[in-house]
């Protein structure tokens, strides 16, 4: 069996040899961040190459056994082929996660759009969907900021998603998400359309040195939003940092102290500014974060229709699922994987 394409085992072997030479240099650890990136890439390539070779050997063995023209072996081989297909699809996705920031943690931001209370409820439903997906992946979520809606749901939410390839999986989720349903807030049971936006930014290593002029920052402190009662926050611990030259605004209010909130907000700000520095223009950051101008009709990347029929459709890949509730329970891998395949290099 011949294999190649984006699996490219020969190319990966050559890259592993290059990285191995780098790792043996006496000054390898002089730049700790670069060294850790090299080690991460080395381990990732080795893991993919090992899985690719093992799968190839299994497929070759099955193909060879079919030459015996044994009916029982043929039946067993047909079952194995189904398993190989699943393994190949899973391995393909791992291979496609090869972007510069794909292995990084991700900053996931959700903002309600047109639709008032409906939109705030929809934004909260999206948060629940991603939270369940995060749990299924074995990732960790850290809520940095949450702005509740006036009657229900959320106006906005910022979550740091931690885990290998978190940004790689989530990067194509950026855009406008549209919901069509019978509104639970409408006494006349009319159909409503709501919108919410998702933006995703990679978390950059905190040790990266980003020069920030203190005069470029506007720092506001205010009461953190609380649930009331004993849990309400009575001190000005929430922090909002505005970077005036770029217009970037970062809010953090879920840590215990103002100092911790400021540190977390600065980490997110540095991640965003690092993107600008790397790309030398803000336009590139908008591509990574997701350029979202109008959270309204005609700009959605995915629609979730609950009435008059049941369908989730991604308008970029045409990937569909008729079980909306299953998708909203965090089963979104098929949409994520379809986007990765669509954007393969």
Residue 211: band (very low, low, confident or very high) from pLDDT cuts 50, 70, 90: confident
The percentage of the chain sitting over the pLDDT mark of 90, rounded to a whole number, equals 44
Separation CA 250–CA 272 (nearest Å): 10
Greatest distance between any 2 Cα atoms in the chain: 78
Q: Average of pLDDT values for 229-245?
A: 72
**Strands 191-202 and 300-305: what pairing?**
unpaired
Q: Average of pLDDT values for 239-252?
A: 92
Separation CA 117–CA 151 (nearest Å): 6
Separation CA 281–CA 35 (nearest Å): 27
Question: Is a pLDDT exceeding 50 seen at residue 338?
Answer: yes
Pick the CATH number of 214-284 from 3.30.950.10, 3.30.160.20, 3.40.50.1370, 2.60.40.420: 3.30.160.20
Pick the CATH number of 106-206+289-342 from 3.30.70.260, 3.40.50.300, 3.30.70.1660, 1.10.490.10: 3.30.70.1660
Domain 5-96 has CATH 1.10.1660.10: no
Contact 332, 126 (CB under 8 A): no
The count of other CB atoms within 10 Å of the CB of residue 236 is: 12
Q: Whole-number mean pLDDT of the chain? A: 84
CA-to-CA separations, 153 to 86, 150, 337, in angstroms, rounded:
38, 8, 29
Measured in degrees and rounded to the nearest 5, phi and psi for residue 329 equal: -90, 15
Q: List, in order, residues 6 or more apart from 61 with CB less than 8 Å away.
A: none
For the range 91-96, what are the long-range contacts, defined as Cβ-Cβ under 8 Å and sequence gap of 24 or more? 91/7, 91/48, 91/51, 91/52, 91/55, 92/6, 92/7, 92/341, 93/337, 93/340, 94/47, 94/48, 94/51, 95/6, 95/7, 95/48, 96/6, 96/340, 96/341, 96/344
Q: Average of pLDDT values for 122-134?
A: 98
Q: Average of pLDDT values for 157-177?
A: 94
For the chain, report the end-to-end CA distance as a whole number of angstroms. 24
Task: Provide the CB-side half-sphere exposure for 222 (13 A, CA).
Answer: 10
pLDDT at 278: 65
**Nearest C-alpha neighbor of 98 from the set 200, 1, 11, 209:** 11
22-67 per-position pLDDT tens digit: 999 999 998 887 787 788 778 878 888 888 887 788 778 777 777 7
Residues of the chain with CATH 3.30.160.20: 214-284
């Amino acid at each position: 069996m011949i294999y190649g394409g984006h699996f490219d085992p020969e190319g990966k072997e050559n890259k592993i040899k290059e990285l191995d030479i780098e790792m043996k240099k006496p000054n390898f650890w002089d730049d700790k961040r670069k060294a850790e990136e090299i080690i991460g890439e080395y381990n990732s390539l080795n893991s993919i190459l090992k899985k690719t070779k093992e799968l190839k050997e299994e497929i070759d063995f099955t193909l060879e056994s079919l030459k015996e023209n044994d009916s029982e072996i043929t039946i067993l081989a047909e079952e194995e082929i189904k398993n190989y297909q699943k393994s190949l699809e899973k391995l393909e996705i791992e291979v496609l996660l090869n972007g510069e920031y794909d292995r990084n943690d991700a900053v996931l931001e959700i903002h309600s759009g047109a639709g008032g209370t409906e939109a705030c409820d929809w934004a909260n439903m999206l948060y629940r969907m991603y939270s369940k997906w995060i749990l299924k992946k074995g990732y960790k979520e850290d809520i940095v900021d949450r702005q509740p809606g006036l009657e229900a749901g959320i106006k906005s939410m910022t979550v740091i998603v931690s885990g290998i390839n978190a940004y790689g999986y989530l990067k194509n989720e950026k855009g406008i998400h549209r919901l069509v349903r019978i509104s639970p807030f409408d006494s006349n049971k009319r159909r409503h359309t709501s919108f919410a936006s998702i933006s995703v930014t990679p978390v950059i290593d905190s040790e990266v040195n980003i020069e920030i002029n203190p005069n470029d920052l506007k720092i506001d402190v205010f009461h953190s939003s609380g649930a009331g009662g004993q849990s309400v926050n009575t001190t000005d611990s929430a922090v909002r940092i505005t970077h005036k030259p770029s217009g970037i605004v970062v809010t953090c209010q879920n840590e215990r102290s103002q100092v911790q909130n400021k540190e977390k907000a600065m980490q997110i700000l540095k991640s965003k500014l690092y993107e600008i520095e790397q790309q030398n223009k803000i336009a590139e950051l908008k591509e990574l974060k997701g350029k979202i101008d109008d959270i309204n009709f005609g700009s959605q990347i995915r629609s979730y229709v609950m009435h008059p029929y049941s369908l989730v459709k991604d308008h970029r890949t045409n990937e569909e699922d008729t079980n909306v509730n299953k998708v909203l329970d965090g089963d979104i891998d098929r949409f994520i994987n379809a986007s990765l395949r669509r954007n393969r290099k």
